[in-house]
Amino acid sequence: MIKKLASCWRRYSQVILGGGLFLLIVLMAVFAPLIATHDPGAYAMREALQEPGPAHLCGTDAFGRDVFSRIVYGARISLTIALAVLVVCGALGTVLGLLSGYYRWAEATIMRLMDGLMAFPSILLALVILTVFGSGIQNIILALSISYLPRVVRTIRGAVISVKEYEHVEAARAMGASDARIIFKYILPLCVSPLIIRLTLIMALTVLSESSLTFLGVGLSPEIPSWGNILSEGRQYITTSPYLITLPGLAIVLAVLSLNTLGDGLRDLLDPRLK
């Protein structure tokens, strides 16, 4: 019994821990109005730059705004952006990756396009897109999705090209399976692990890039309390009030960590050899 429980725990621990932590962050975002102790946008110049304490759990920033409440509300913005980028990149990247890995005719067009996008550093590409289209949450999602898309496509395509040569795929062809069946039943399931790893990484990068873009002045306007915004505003006070950096930074680290753990756990769970 205990042995069984132990092996069960070993199998699911990463998913439980990572997923649990991430769920907490999501819940924090959803119930932000209930959790936040203050209005995240309320200025109170007299209470500016207070250390963390009972009145302000995470202290206040240069405008006297409550950092804890800003972090709680910031989860909404940052997670929305990260999840949206994940969905867009994941869906589009998987389809394009499968096509370009499986069909020779698709390879030339898709990969040329992706190589073109890859030629720019992704932050620069996002910067250009935001400059052209203007900032705002939707455009940030668009910009980051476009700049991370090539990595997903390459990951999937690489996996497809190697899996395509496996004999079980040849066996499926010999059974008369259609291309769609081969792609989705025989190739895609074996590309899931690299995809999960790539996507959790991209989600983490998204949280970070959003803050860089904001720092560069093309991200969200300063009133919106995204984690990136909080972080970049705090940078000026890094020597005097380091908590302005460390606490939102901690939120980002925890979110990224939970996603990576969850990703690892899911990957292992999906591998029948590790049962």
Contacts with another protein by CB under 8 A lie at 166-168, 170-178, 181, 185-186, 189-190, 270-273, 275
123 CB-near residues (< 8 Å, 6+ apart):
147, 209, 212, 213
Minimum CB–partner distance for residue 168 and another protein (Å): 5
Nearer to another protein, 46 or 275 (CB): 275
Nearer to another protein, 116 or 189 (CB): 189
Alpha helices in 2-136 (DSSP H): 2-30, 32-35, 67-102, 104-118, 122-133
Nearer to another protein, 3 or 275 (CB): 275
Nearer to another protein, 44 or 172 (CB): 172
59 within 8 A of 243, measured Cβ to Cβ: yes
C-alpha closest to that of 184 among 162, 169, 200: 169
Minimum CB–partner distance for residue 259 and another protein (Å): 23
Amino acid present at 196: I
C-alpha closest to that of 83 among 230, 203, 179: 203
d(CA 69, CA 54): 13
Nearer to another protein, 118 or 269 (CB): 269
Minimum CB–partner distance for residue 263 and another protein (Å): 18
Minimum CB–partner distance for residue 15 and another protein (Å): 18
Minimum CB–partner distance for residue 170 and another protein (Å): 7
155 within 8 A of 194, measured Cβ to Cβ: yes
Minimum CB–partner distance for residue 171 and another protein (Å): 5
273 CB-near residues (< 8 Å, 6+ apart):
none
Nearer to another protein, 39 or 268 (CB): 268
